């Protein structure tokens, strides 16, 4: 059974849940998510009972100290003082999901890409819907910046934390243009 260290933090966009393995950040989740949104937590509100602390081969240990480096960088991001994260990630998914998530990590701060752009980046130009599903399964919000992916017509679409949250993150990064701001 693998132990994941967990912590909750307050942020400019609301409460966040973090989980890390010995190898890096495994999950960064919003407290409020859309119905059906995937979560690593047994109880998405973090109100788990002792018997719920184990799920999917994980044992959760509430341990804010090991997560402090992650919290510090996230606080710097929300304060507008950080554009890139330097802590390690422990991404877990299918080969296709991992390829999509790596393509998301390549999107520079303050810029956006379309689902079609990401599909081309992973070598499968017709897979824009599959890219959308990989984004939906992204376990590390904000750091793996699926909020930087927009529709081909330039509008905001699909985000696990909701479109208002996506808009706030893009505004923070200065990525909203005339089309996106509407």
Enzyme catalytic residues: 146
Phi-psi region of 109 (alpha: psi -120 to 50; beta: other; left: phi over 0): beta
Relative to beta strand 149-150, strand 25-30 is: unpaired
Question: CA 62 → CA 8, 28, 70, 177, distances in Å?
Answer: 9, 14, 15, 40
Contact 140, 91 (CB under 8 A): yes
Closest CA to 149 of 137, 135, 134, 160: 135
Q: Which residues contact 88 (CB under 8 A, 6 or more apart)?
A: 23, 24, 25
Q: CA 165 to CA 4: how far, in whole Å? A: 26
Residue 1 contacts residue 58 (beta carbons within 8 Å): yes
Rounded-to-integer distance, Cα 135 and Cα 171, Å: 20
């Amino acid at each position: 059974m693998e132990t994941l260290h967990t912590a909750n933090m307050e942020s400019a966009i609301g409460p966040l849940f973090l989980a890390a393995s010995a190898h890096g950040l495994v999950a960064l989740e919003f407290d409020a998510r859309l119905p059906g949104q995937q979560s690593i937590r047994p109880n998405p509100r973090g109100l788990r009972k002792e018997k719920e602390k184990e799920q999917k081969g994980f044992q959760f240990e509430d341990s804010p100290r090991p997560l402090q480096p992650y919290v510090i960088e996230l606080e710097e991001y929300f304060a507008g003082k950080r554009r890139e994260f330097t802590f390690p990630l422990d991404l877990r998914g299918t080969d296709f999901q991992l390829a999509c998530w790596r393509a998301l990590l390549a999107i520079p701060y303050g810029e956006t890409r379309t689902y079609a752009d990401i599909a081309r980046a992973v070598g499968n130009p017709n897979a824009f819907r599959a890219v959308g599903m990989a984004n939906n399964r992204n376990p590390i919000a904000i750091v793996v910046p699926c909020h930087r992916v927009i529709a081909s017509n330039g509008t905001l679409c699909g985000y696990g934390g909701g479109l208002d949250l996506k808009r706030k993150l893009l505004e923070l990064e200065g990525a909203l243009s005339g089309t996106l701001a509407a």
